[in-house]
């Protein structure tokens, strides 16, 4: 999971509602559409000294709705795709008969923006991205406590030792 502020990102919009707004447009806000994020430009590079780990780089494409008012004061919305790049080290299974895929969840809420012309908004938004490796498998889940989350961290040549070893969820005692 990665949460960050994306500043000055250009988003080209289409599908104006109502159609044919009077330009220029005034930015009101934007947020995710609720549709699934997609991935593109996926690369997986195995890490030789860390079995079952790989550096994963991928573009995550998050569908968003941008709210605006046009030059006549008419409120409207337009659709766009916010693309963010992720570069992480995560647990990735070895090759097997049953293939795996890398999927993404993405959410964005805009805090600022402006229309810069040519169907393009420059926005600043709060983004949450969750990457996951998915494989169809038969797994027994424990009926107690939290499920173990496989490790994932941002790729960095200078990783802060020990920080990512802390538990994601608080422990509740010996029985958990």
By residue range, what is the domain housing residue 52? 2-165
Q: Is residue 129 part of a domain?
A: yes
Q: Decide if 170 is inside a domain.
A: no
Q: Check pLDDT > 60 for residue 164.
A: no
Tell me the per-residue pLDDT of 43-96, one tens digit each, with 9 for 90 and over: 999 999 988 899 999 999 999 999 999 999 999 999 999 999 999 999 998 877
- Residue 175 falls within a domain, yes or no? no
pLDDT, greater one: 165 or 88: 88
Does residue 176 sit within a domain? no
Q: Which residues contact 35 (CB under 8 A, 6 or more apart)?
A: 63
Q: Where are the beta strands (DSSP E) in 18-159?
A: 26-32, 38-46, 53-69, 75-91, 101-117, 120-134, 152-154
Region 35-48: mean pLDDT is 96
Q: For residue 31, is it within any domain?
A: yes
CB 119 within 8 A of CB 20: no
What the block records as the tokens of 90 is 């995560």
Asked, for residue 89, whether it belongs to a domain, the answer is yes
In a domain, 173, yes or no: no
pLDDT band for position 13 (cuts 50, 70, 90) = very high
Q: What is the pLDDT of residue 18?
A: 97
Mean pLDDT score of the chain, rounded to an integer? 87
**What pTM value is reported for the model?**
0.77
Distance (Å, whole) CA 116 – CA 95: 46
What's the total number of domains in the chain? 1
């Amino acid at each position: 999971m990665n949460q960050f502020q994306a500043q000055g990102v250009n988003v080209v919009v289409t599908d104006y509602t109502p159609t044919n707004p009077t330009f220029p447009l005034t930015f009101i806000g934007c947020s995710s559409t609720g549709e699934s994020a997609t991935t593109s430009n996926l690369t997986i590079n195995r890490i030789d000294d860390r079995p079952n780990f790989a550096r994963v780089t991928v573009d995550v494409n998050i569908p968003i709705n941008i709210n605006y008012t046009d030059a006549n004061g008419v409120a409207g919305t337009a659709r766009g795709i916010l693309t963010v790049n992720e570069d992480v080290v995560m647990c990735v299974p070895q090759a097997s008969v049953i293939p795996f895929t890398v999927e993404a969840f993405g959410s964005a809420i805009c805090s600022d923006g402006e229309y810069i012309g040519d169907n393009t908004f420059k926005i600043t938004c709060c983004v949450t991205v969750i990457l996951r490796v998915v494989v169809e498998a038969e797994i027994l889940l424990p009926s107690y406590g939290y499920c173990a989350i496989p490790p994932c961290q941002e790729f960095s040549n200078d990783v802060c030792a020990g920080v990512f070893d802390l538990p994601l969820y608080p422990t509740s005692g010996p029985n958990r």
